Amino acid sequence: MEHPIHSAFDSFDYLGRATLFAQEIHEVINRVSLFEEFSFPEFEALCSYMVCYTAPRHGVLIREGDSGDFLVILLTGKVDVIKQASDGSTKFIAAVGPGASLGEMSLIDGQARFATCISTEPVDFAVLDRKALNEVLVSQPRLGNKLLLLLLQLMAKRLRDSGASLLPHIGSSVV
């Protein structure tokens, strides 16, 4: 199943199918505790649905407000996540590195991008779009369900972390 180059990355270098980088992706993602349940054969299968790119320093991987139907998994390099504040200023949210996933909210809900993700150095990354996710769910439902559960866990963790940082006086009490 051939995936065309994603138009959001026209200005970046296309590296090819992620299966070419399955071992490297597995090593990077295996460092992320949420992905530890994935075996190498599962990563290989998932890689057959992804494509890889490289972006230069200051490359915009995701732009706040854009529509989005893909997520990005960083393989090398670092990316800053920033958000426009209501007063027009730019607020730094996080700096992320290899193994981080970006854009999963829009992949799932189809809504506009929440923040902008800009490379602070050259980065290599894998892309999984909604069409490919649907193909995984149809052709490999166990893998697709495992991936969806992983994404839900990731989003729940980020929501909890955000809530904790916004309401530090609540501490660790459960809502």
List, for residues 62-103, the tens digit of each pLDDT value: 999 999 899 999 999 999 999 999 998 999 999 999 988 899
Q: Check whether 3 has a pLDDT greater than 70.
A: no
| Span 126-146, average pLDDT | 94
The whole-model pTM stands at 0.82
- pLDDT for res 39: 84
List, for residues 5-16, the tens digit of each pLDDT value: 577 888 899 998
3-state secondary structure of 141: helix
The mean pLDDT of the chain is 86
Alpha carbon distance 2, 18 (integer Å): 11
3-state secondary structure of 13: strand
| Span 23-49, average pLDDT | 80
Q: How many CB atoms lie within 10 A of CB 15?
A: 16
Show the DSSP H helices in the chain as ranges: 22-29, 40-47, 104-109, 130-139, 141-166
Q: Check whether 170 has a pLDDT greater than 70.
A: no
pLDDT confidence of 164, banded at 50, 70, 90?
confident
Q: Check whether 36 has a pLDDT greater than 80.
A: no
Q: Which of 144, 123, 149 is nearest to 133 (CA)?
A: 144
Q: How many CB atoms lie within 10 A of CB 129?
A: 20
Alpha carbon distance 31, 101 (integer Å): 13
